[in-house]
């Protein structure tokens, strides 16, 4: 009987090691793919219409910037630049995809600041302004999830945070990468979800 228990424990340990190794491999694949020139495609559903939002990363690090374009029926294009202050301290989100160039200093776009990540890892919740720096604050509680998408034609699945809060309820899913805390999915009366990253 003790031998059976020992074998079962060994099998469960190996399975856990395999899952962890796979998670780490997918995280490494994601972090390598996220570099200037990478193209990210989101599926957007808003006002009864469905279209693609396509981002091209321009800069990552102390500042984050990307260009974007949307497909029919919207056909908008522009750029977003988040300053060092935004990437470090912002506790507000902006979803500016109306065309033209946006420079953000107090908000982030499709990205979480270091301050928000620190809140989530420290207390499993954060306070966010969901619709720009002038919005009221919403307390968002956190659970964990797993998010599948495609990187260079291969399927990956990354662990992440599932933030929920507000009335009506808003849900924000974020890929759990300290270096690259990208929003995977947003549902706030309209929705968008990451489909693919390509280099």
Query: Tell me: the pLDDT tens digits for 138-163?
Result: 999 999 999 999 999 999 999 999 99
Q: Is the pLDDT of residue 44 over 60?
A: yes
How buried is residue 160: exposed, middle or buried, by Cβ count under 10 Å (0-12/13-18/19+)? buried
Q: Is the pLDDT of residue 178 over 90?
A: no
Which sequence spans correspond to the domains of the chain? 2-198
Give 72-141 as a DSSP string: TTT--EEEEEE-HHHHHH--BB----SSEEEEESS-BSSB--HHHHHHHHHHSEEEEETT-TTSPEEEEE
Structure pTM?
A: 0.86
Q: Is the pLDDT of residue 74 over 80?
A: no
Stretch 53-67: mean pLDDT: 97
Q: What is the DSSP letter of 197?
A: E
Query: Tell me: the pLDDT tens digits for 164-177?
Result: 998 889 999 999 99
Stretch 18-30: mean pLDDT: 74
Calculate the average pLDDT of the chain. Answer: 88
């Amino acid at each position: 009987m003790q031998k059976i228990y020992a074998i079962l424990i060994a099998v469960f340990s190996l399975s856990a090691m395999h899952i962890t190794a796979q998670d780490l491999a997918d995280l490494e694949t994601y972090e390598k793919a996220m570099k200037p020139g990478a193209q990210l495609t989101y599926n957007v559903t808003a006002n009864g219409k469905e279209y693609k939002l396509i981002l091209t990363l321009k800069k990552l690090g102390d500042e984050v910037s990307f260009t974007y374009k949307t497909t029919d029926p919207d056909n908008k294009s522009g750029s977003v630049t988040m300053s060092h202050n935004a990437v470090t301290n912002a506790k507000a989100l902006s979803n500016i995809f109306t065309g033209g160039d946006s420079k953000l200093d107090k908000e982030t776009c499709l990205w979480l600041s270091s301050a928000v990540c620190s809140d989530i890892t420290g207390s499993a919740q954060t306070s966010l302004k969901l619709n720009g720096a002038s919005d009221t604050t919403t307390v968002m509680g956190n659970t964990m999830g797993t998010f599948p998408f495609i990187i260079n034609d291969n399927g990956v699945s990354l662990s992440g945070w599932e933030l929920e809060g507000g009335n009506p309820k808003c849900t924000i899913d974020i890929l759990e990468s300290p270096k690259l805390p990208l929003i995977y999915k947003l549902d706030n009366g309209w929705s968008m979800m990451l489909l693919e990253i390509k280099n």
